[in-house]
Amino acid sequence: MADEDTKKAEEAADEAQDAAKEAEKSEEKAEAAKEEAQESAEQAQEAEKKVEEAAKEVKEEVKEKPSQPKIKVSAKLEKIIGEIEKLSVLELSELVKALEEKFGVTAAAPVAAAGAGVQTGSADEGASEQTTFNVILAESGANKISVIKAIRELVPTLGLKEAKDLVDAAPKQVLEGVNKESANEAKQKLETAGAKVELK
């Protein structure tokens, strides 16, 4: 009987020891969690400080930059500008060409105009070599998908639909006022895709 009591007492002592170990482990885990929470809080504070600093910098930059004077336009012009904003890149290009034809003006960049001046100056000496070219898609060919891909590579601003519309509407201008090297590269790329191309 005494042996049984001793055995029970030993078992109870072992259980108490295990419980103490478990409690110690739980305490360690709680301590580790507390430290992690503290670190996270510190990191959050640092991030908050950085955000505040960045916000201050932005405010200072905005203060430093003088606000551009807004050009006053009539309600009629505002409506026209609103309509133009809705146009795609291709439609804008067509609008510019239509305005050039209608009013007999050119929207070419000043650099191109300077090049044209040099060209006309040398025309007296003989036939001057053409320096700028327009790449025209004469025929889209049988493999339209490849041609659309090639056009999107040449004109990255075009969306898939716009590039498809351009291919479907051949003959159509793809590039305007590019140098000889760029024009030849574009021609080669489109012809490789199966299209017929003209340089003007």
CA distances, 159 to each of 81, 89, 151, 176 (Å) = 22, 9, 10, 18
Amino acid 107: pLDDT: 57
| pTM of the predicted structure, to 2 decimals | 0.35
Q: Please indicate, yes or no, if residue 18 is contained in any of the structural domains.
A: no
Q: Would you say residue 151 lies in a domain?
A: yes
What digits encode the pLDDT tens for the residues 107-134?
Answer: 554 444 444 444 444 444 445 677 888 8
User: 45-89 pLDDT, tens per residue?
Assistant: 777 777 677 667 766 765 655 555 567 778 888 888 888 878 777
Tell whether 8 is covered by a domain: no
User: How much is the pLDDT for 110?
Assistant: 47
- Domain hosting 176: range is 85-123+131-199
The pLDDT value given to residue 123: 45
pLDDT at 134: 87
User: Could you give the number of structural domains in the chain?
Assistant: 1
| CATH number of the domain residue 167 falls in | 3.30.1390.10
Handedness of CA 22, 23, 24, 25 (dihedral sign): positive
The answer to whether residue 60 sits within a structural domain is: no
Most trustworthy range by pLDDT among 31-40, 99-108, 147-156: 147-156
105 close to 151: Cβ distance less than 8 angstroms: no
